[in-house]
Chains A and B, each alone.
Chain A
Amino acid sequence: MHGAFQDELAFHLTGRLRAATEGPAPEDGGGTLEPIAGRGLLPALFAPYADLAQLRHDFPLLLAPGKPAESLTAVMESALAGRDADDAEAASRLRHHGLRLERALRGLAAKKGALPLAEAWKEAGAELAAADPEIGESLNALKGAFPAKATLVPCDGALPIALLKHEWHRVQEERLAALRGEIETLVHGLENILAADFITSPAGRSPERLRATIGEALADHFDLAAMASLLDRGRTVATLQESRRSRLQALLSVLKGQRYAPLPGSDVTAHKLTFTSARTALKAWQERLPARAELARTLAMARLEVAGEYTESRHDALFARFDDRRASEALEAISVPSLVCLRGDDLQPDEAAAVLEAFAAGLPFKVLVQVDSLFDGEARLAPAAVLAHALTASAFGFADAAVLQTTSARLLAEIPPLQNVLGHRGPGLVTLFSGAGAEHSRIPAYLAAAAALESRVFPALFHDPAGGQPTSLAANPAADADWPEYVLDCEDSRQQRQKQSLAFTALDFLAADPRFAEHFALLGKGADDSHLVPAAEAADAAPGAAEQRLPFVLMADTAGRMHKVLADETLLAAAKQVLRRWRALRAQFTLPAPVIVEAPAPAAPAEAPAETPAVTAAPVEEAATDPDAAYIETARCSSCGACLLVNDKLFVYDGNKQAQIKDVSLGSFRDLVEAAESCPLAIIHPGKPRDPAEEGLADLLARAAAL
């Protein structure tokens, strides 16, 4: 027994198996340690996912222009949904055929990589139809539910950039449409001003112009020269000042020539906005600054021109001083971000420095850092992974940067956060592990990426400064534990069903990497495993305890048999480092327990507001103090103009176009009486006559009395 333990401990500490020259294997334990290379062993928790093409999962994705990315499974489900209403048998057949097609498409995508859906559909359909002629009808019935121009994208190394560009174009299109719409409206407005001016100009009213307006067919019926001279005679509209015309033309030329959101039908090429180098992107950004400032200035001026609010005396001087250093607020309106995709070895230190420079300046750069390999051959973090981690950590230092870290296995679920990052006004960083490194060639990239997330080797996190939410680790499985645990169904040596709870640790992730095969040793049948502890326990052990607690991971061979595999100290150290990093991350971003604040006691009910009467009883101002003076109840005047017809000097309108008596000396008592008689509202009161000698006074007094 002792000899076997010594052997295991020696392997754990040195990573070397007993050489044949060291003598025979100890006899007391009966078992030996054997190399695992060439046995096709994979972590036991991978066993249920041996053939991903048979399993419905998030991938492949369907990317259709202008639509959000969807999984093939989801599209198929929605195509099949609601078809069983009339004929259950037909619906069941359709479902059966649909699922077979889905499986075939998934297999094709896994084999060939991204390909157009139409092509894959044709190939898979032909293959299925050869075996089952009836399937063609079902496939035709399903075809309409699938987007026509979609691409089928499996979870491989090309997925992250393809998906990010797809989502970026959607966000970008929306953003540019708003800018383009405004520019189009302004161009329209400016052109209208010029066109209106032209129409009223002598050239616009010339016989030639009139001929062109009427059209050749009818032009001979009119005397266009006479019409032109008539029009010219009646010309009263002032023409545009030359300074304004040239300003309008200059504005139009900038708006039509700008390359941020080229107008439809123009031959201007849009700015290149996607880059594979941050340094190039930064350079392009700086080169475009003057043009951007020019556009911002033009937009501001054009808005004023179209609104008719541009005054040269006021605005000329203001806009002359408008430049790219000062007009940061106006520039922000034309915030057209650049997308930088850096993959694996593209990410050199100078590129990382350029990314940081852009972030520090708050530029709206969206940067994707795709890492394909996390560890080098010595189980240390690979240089690209180190830089990716460093960039993520630094991005938190710039308060306005949005950060998403995830793996490609989770990409479909991460589309909403991804859109937040892409739509965020400031910088955005997406660091992503693809699982497509050469070392993971034995397993699908999807599985490698999922394993990195599960094992905390590449944890997910999301930080959105605009959302007002704290940084979230919620996308990690069992985010409040050291490792996620799963229950594995298996059978024991007596063919009895067993349920085994297993944690998925960083050692499991490393065990799937064939480069580290020599760091693992298989325990032969009947070997002593009394000193072995699961990797999760060993990784948590205090330093120095290694001698009594050797870490093992459970691995399964191609036949599905499970084996305990001993790991050496080098890999255990790597796993411990992963755990330390994960714990530090949790400590950094997990919110303290919420403090429950007692609800304040309900305040004493405020005194019910005294019912305010709709009508206050303020005394009404009397219209006239002298009972003998003529007056009008001006406030009641309905502006009908009847009194003004009687005498428009005596009666005038006030600022509200209501009648008042300007001066009684400007009219006679007769005027007052006649106006009072003609007033439909009877609000004119003639009072007493001022001139006792006025003609027909007796009659007038009688008429006034009747009022």
Chain B
Amino acid sequence: MSEATLCLLRLADEQHSLEDYQSGVPRWCPGCGDNAILSAVQRLCRDEGLRPEKTVFISGIGCSSRFPHYMKTYGLHGIHGRALPIAEGVRMARRDLDVFVNTGDGDCCSIGAAHWIHAIRYNMNLTVMLHDNEIYGLTKKQASPTSPKGLRSNTTPGGAWLEALNPVQVTLGVQNASFVAQVVDWIPELLYDVLHRAWKHRGFSFVHIVQRCPEWLPNQFEPFVRDPSKVALVHHERGLSISPSLAKVYRNQIQHDPRDIDGARKIASQRDPIPVGILYHDPSVPCYEDLRRGNQPPHSAALVKKGLEKQFDKFTIWPQTAEAAD
């Protein structure tokens, strides 16, 4: 059917409000950075008119992974560390959906690290938010891979032994990285802009969100929140442009071309001030689902049935014959 006919048959554009994407009352602690991420994502859904039934949020385990419960879209609260492979499966089977992934520093960088590395390499069209509060919050304060050296926690009472893992640097080090950004939860405007650009990028958009945990690490980012000079805004005509109001507050700025991966790695290595913005963007990296699927139609009823039968057959217990029973 031609585009013209489709237009003719399409309903009038639907208008969604923020509440249309809100499901239940978030159980995150007051002051938690997850709230900021939730409202930025809901704004994105509303502004881009994402249809709730065509949008899906996949998460693993952790505070951040409660995210899908609070979105009135499709969602799956998965198992620890496996948000990315589930999202990849959804993406492979249903290319008409917008797929978002919410994962935490424990979920992604610890048990899910292998999936994370390969998901970057696969470069499937997913928008991935890594909520990094540098601590296991849901299980009440254990050190995570991104906990800074010396951090006292229930598992490291004498202080963490190792240097923290830098998720942005890791991502930039993997082949086929196509969109890497870092943002902090306490600058809502920037958070929204970066997520918006990440969603628009076709490929694996990795957004590292530095996020406060008011319950277990209330002072961890306090200096950064209080002092705008401890945040550096990364901007470029090909990346983010900064609004005047933001520029007035955050004077510390870095001009960086997001095509420059070496520059991105250099910026990613700095921790104070925290660089925020789009560090790397290469729209030319092919998506795995495009390489694999070509022009094949999406899964058919027959294919689904065949696959299910095959799986069921693995568990079938064939009735024993009378002779064998004897």
Name A residues whose Cβ lies closer than 8 Å to a Cβ of B: 177-178, 180-182, 184-185, 187-188, 191, 263-265, 296, 299-300, 303-304, 308-309, 311, 314-315, 318, 329-330, 332-333, 612, 614-621, 635-642, 645, 655-658, 678, 680-682
Contacts and interface: CB of A to CB of B under 8 A. Distances in A.
Contacts of A318: 8-9
Given A330-B5, A638-B188, A188 B43 contact: no
Contacts of A178: 295, 297
Contacts of A639: 35-36, 38-39, 188
A554 B242 CA distance: 85
Contact of B5 (A300, A616, A655): A300
B1 A330 contact: yes
Task: From A180, A318, A657, name the one whose CB has the most chain B CB atoms within 10 angstroms.
Answer: A657
B229 interface: no
B273 to A, nearest CB: 17
Contacts of B255: 614
Interface residues of B, number: 51
A391 B31 CA distance: 80
B127 to A, nearest CB: 19
Given A182-B297, A614-B237, A656-B18, 8 more contacts: A188-B301, A300-B1, A614-B253, A620-B248, A636-B186, A636-B187, A641-B30, A655-B17
A360 to B, nearest CB: 23
A658 B9 contact: no
Nearest to B302: A264
B245 interface: yes
B109 to A, nearest CB: 23
Nearest to B33: A638
Contacts of B30: 640-642, 645, 678
A171 to B, nearest CB: 14
10 contacts: A184-B297, A188-B301, A300-B9, A314-B11, A614-B253, A636-B189, A640-B31, A658-B39, A680-B225, A681-B186
A477 to B, nearest CB: 38
B43 to A, nearest CB: 6
Task: From B18, B30, B242, B244, name the one whose CB has the most chain A CB atoms within 10 angstroms.
Answer: B30
Contacts of A635: 188-189, 245
Interface of B: 1-2, 4-5, 8-11, 17-18, 26, 30-33, 35-36, 38-39, 42-43, 53, 185-189, 212, 214, 225-226, 235-237, 241-242, 244-245, 247-248, 253, 255, 295-302, 304
B18 A655 contact: yes
A656 B17 CA distance: 9
B31 A678 contact: yes
A329 B241 contact: no
A299 B187 CA distance: 47
A615 B18 contact: no
Given A642-B30, A680-B225, A681-B186, A187 B301 contact: yes
Q: Which 8 residue pairs spanning A and B have beta carbons closest together? A: A181-B297, A184-B300, A638-B36, A615-B247, A657-B39, A639-B39, A188-B301, A618-B244
A656 B39 contact: yes
A43 to B, nearest CB: 49
B18 A315 contact: no
Contacts of B304: 188
Nearest to A638: B36
A657 B187 contact: no
Given A616-B244, A639-B36, A329 B2 contact: yes
A624 B301 CA distance: 61
Contacts, number: 130
Contacts of A330: 1-2, 5
B1 A299 contact: yes
A682 B11 CA distance: 45
A639 B32 CA distance: 9
Nearest to B191: A638
Contacts of A637: 188
Task: From A304, A612, A619, A638, name the one whose CB has the most chain B CB atoms within 10 angstroms.
Answer: A638
Contact of A681 (B10, B32, B225): B225
Contact of B185 (A314, A332, A638): A638
B2 A265 contact: no
Contacts of A656: 18, 39, 43
Task: From B4, B36, B225, B301, name the one whose CB has the most chain A CB atoms within 10 angstroms.
Answer: B301
A191 B301 contact: yes
Contacts of B187: 636
B5 A329 contact: yes
A301 to B, nearest CB: 9
A617 B248 CA distance: 8
B36 A612 contact: no
A191 to B, nearest CB: 7
A681 B33 CA distance: 11
A656 B53 CA distance: 21
Nearest to A646: B30
A315 B185 CA distance: 45
